[in-house]
Amino acid sequence: MTGLEWVVEAYHCDAKSLSDRGKLCRLLSRMVEDLHLNPVGEPLWHQFPGPGGITGLCLLAESHWTCHTFPEHRSLTLNLFCCRPRPEWDFETFLAEEFGAGRVSVRKLERPYGGEA
């Protein structure tokens, strides 16, 4: 059995959208629904002052989801780790539509348990 981890970086985003907590909440909600994830509590959010970005964390029964936005660099990073396989998710389309991402990099890492690589 292996877990899956997605490391996602979105570039050339709309800077204003990266400071919109509502948009990030929609992103998390959509991923939870589409990937059948199970939050074990309310997500935590930290909004940095001024034109700063947002950091979000959601503890999942499957592991965790994190997000960091950098309006000053027009970028967003996501990390989703799941202890069980999940279907593919269209990060590119969602991030382009919701955050105006011009380029999205998605790396999917298999995380084998017990060293079975």
Q: Closest Cα to residue 67, out of 2, 3, 13?
A: 13
13 is catalytic: no
Could you tell me the pLDDT band of residue 58, with boundaries at 50, 70 and 90?
A: very high
CA distance 95 to 13: 8
Could you tell me the pLDDT band of residue 2, with boundaries at 50, 70 and 90?
A: confident
Active site residue: 68, 73, 75, 82, which one? 68
| 59, pLDDT greater than 80 | yes
CA distance 60 to 34: 14
- Predicted TM-score of the model (pTM): 0.89
75 is catalytic: no
Helices (H), 1-117: 21-35, 91-99
The domain locations on the chain are 2-76+85-103
| 114, pLDDT greater than 90 | no
pLDDT tens-place string over residues 16-44? 999 999 999 999 999 999 999 999 999 99
Could you tell me the pLDDT band of residue 1, with boundaries at 50, 70 and 90?
A: low
Helices (H), 14-115: 21-35, 91-99
Active site residue: 12, 19, 58, 63, which one? 63
pLDDT tens-place string over residues 64-108? 999 999 999 999 999 999 988 888 899 999 999 999 999 999 999
CA distance 42 to 20: 18
83 is catalytic: yes
> CATH topology for 2-76+85-103?
S-adenosylmethionine decarboxylase (3.60.90)
If you search the block for the tokens 């991923």, which residue do you land on?
A: 31
